[in-house]
Amino acid sequence: MALKVENLEGNELADDYIRKTVPQGRWADAWDLFKSNFLKFVILNLVVFVTFVPGVAVMFIRTNVYIASLGLTGPFNPSLTYPFNPSTVGLSESITLSADLLFFSLLIVAGFIASIGISGAAYSIKRMLNTHGECTVKGFFHGIRVCYLSTVLPVTIFMLFMFSTVIVGDWMNLTIVTGGNKAAAITAYVFVIIATVLVGLFSGWLFAVGTGYKVKFTQLFKNTFVLLVGTPLQTVFMSAFTLIPVWLFIIGGIVRTISYVLFVFLGFSFMLLSWTAYTQWVFDLYVTPNIKTAAEVSKAPKTEKQLAQERAEEQKRTAMELLAAGRSELIARPIMPVAAEPAVRIPVLTFTRADVSAAADDRAKLAADVAAYELAHINDPVYAEYNKLFAERERALQSDSGKKGKKSKKISADNLLK
């Protein structure tokens, strides 16, 4: 499917580096980059992990402090004895719902802090992919400056839908245990999960376009939608591949322990590298080919402004050629064309003094005709402009020799220093 993205060509966000060609393909280059810059990815991951600490702390307090402390109060308190026998139907679900309302709201706020590390690491990894391993501390902070807003936007959008999914799930559990409408609750939960997955895919592309190109807000969303719709299967597959550290965490057991270590040292870098390599591969396919060849550009219709610019450039080239050649008398003054018949009678092998006198008269007449022709045509544009060109050049050189800092005039064929 041909993707029609707009305003991406020539607007790549690459302020502090020059993009290099990929010699062996995007995927092979990404794998070589990962192997040869392993330590850099570990360092980047540790920096990102630091910005995720507030979010981790929020979830730890929710599970191990807030909810656990509620088990020591109210009807869960083992010190309560007969005749106290309060109803506990839906109480656990209500506690979970109230806890999630509080702590997942705080998790959205923690996303603003996590976006600091994500933006810097994403820009650094994109720079490494496009320069074959260049990564600097200055580049990391530059990435935060230019990519933070483009990162916090998709992160916040996704976290809002994640918050909705959790709350609707808690509400579904509460509805089921209290005898409410199970079908409606389950249906709502299924729909919000589907919406969250779709928004997650959209947010991934929103993040890729925002951190990769300088585009306006409306074009950012439009191009994101086009790229998502144009590559649905590839996006789903690469999203699943990118989230391998998350799948390991969900499995549990010893695998979860491995996932903890992976997240601390390599998880975030792996996900950013996988997703950036994929999106850059898509950009290579659909954005780079939009660069037209010289033949296509020359055949394309041109505006009046472009035509005027071309004429000015042609005049400049002509003027420079004339300057390089130097002033020529053959061009500076009119020369009478050669007549079909000889203007001077040529004496035969034997001639008299009268013949010599006639030839002298013809030469004098020819010189007068040449002078008259020159006088008659000296003001023709072809000669006047040529002589004006060099006259103004000499005056400009004389005036500029004693006036430093004077602004140069535009060079053209009509007026070299006009």
Would you tell me the crossing angle of helices 232-242 and 217-230 to the nearest 10 degrees?
90
Handedness of CA 43, 44, 45, 46 (dihedral sign): positive
Answer left, alpha or beta for residue 80, where phi above 0 means left and psi between -120 and 50 means alpha: beta
Euclidean distance between CA atoms 349 and 261, whole angstroms:
114
Answer left, alpha or beta for residue 137, where phi above 0 means left and psi between -120 and 50 means alpha: alpha
CB atoms within 10 A of CB 268: 26
Nearest-CA neighbor of 262 among 31, 44, 45? 45
pLDDT tens digits, residue range 129-178? 888 888 889 999 999 999 999 999 999 999 999 999 999 999 999 999 88
Euclidean distance between CA atoms 169 and 162, whole angstroms:
11
Contact of 13 with 214, CB cutoff 8 Å: yes
| Secondary-structure breakdown of the chain: helix, strand, coil percentages, each rounded to the nearest 5 | 75, 0, 25
Element (H, E) at 410: none
Q: How many degrees, rounded to 5, is the angle at CA 236 between CA 231 and CA 242?
A: 115
Which residue type occupies 168?
V
Map residue 341 onto helix, strand or coil.
coil
Contact of 33 with 128, CB cutoff 8 Å: yes
Distance of CA 352 to the CA centre of its chain: 90
Nearest-CA neighbor of 393 among 412, 414, 409, 416? 416
Euclidean distance between CA atoms 262 and 273, whole angstroms:
14
Token pair for residue 9? Answer: 């060509």
Q: Which residues, at least 6 apart from 374, have a Cβ–Cβ distance to it below 8 Å?
A: 333, 334, 335, 336
Euclidean distance between CA atoms 210 and 242, whole angstroms:
19
Euclidean distance between CA atoms 167 and 104, whole angstroms:
9
Contact of 133 with 6, CB cutoff 8 Å: no
Distance of CA 294 to the CA centre of its chain: 22
pTM of the model as a whole: 0.65
Contact of 239 with 254, CB cutoff 8 Å: no
Contact of 5 with 287, CB cutoff 8 Å: yes
Contact of 205 with 117, CB cutoff 8 Å: no
CB atoms within 10 A of CB 31: 14
pLDDT tens digits, residue range 348-397? 666 677 777 877 887 888 788 878 888 887 777 766 766 777 776 666 65
Q: How many degrees, rounded to 5, is the angle at CA 15 between CA 118 and CA 127?
A: 50
Integer angstrom CA distances of residue 315 from 274, 309, 318, 382: 52, 10, 5, 14
Place of tokens 């991406």: 8
Euclidean distance between CA atoms 417 and 395, whole angstroms:
10
Tens place of pLDDT per residue across the chain (418 aa):
456 777 677 678 887 877 777 767 788 888 888 999 999 999 999 999 999 999 999 999 988 888 777 655 555 555 555 455 555 667 788 888 988 999 999 999 999 999 999 999 999 999 998 888 888 899 999 999 999 999 999 999 999 999 999 999 999 999 998 888 899 999 999 999 999 999 999 999 999 999 989 888 888 999 899 999 989 999 999 999 999 988 888 887 788 888 888 889 999 999 999 999 999 888 888 776 544 444 555 555 667 777 777 776 776 666 556 655 666 666 667 777 776 566 666 666 666 777 778 778 878 887 888 788 888 877 777 667 667 777 766 666 556 555 544 444 444 444 443 3
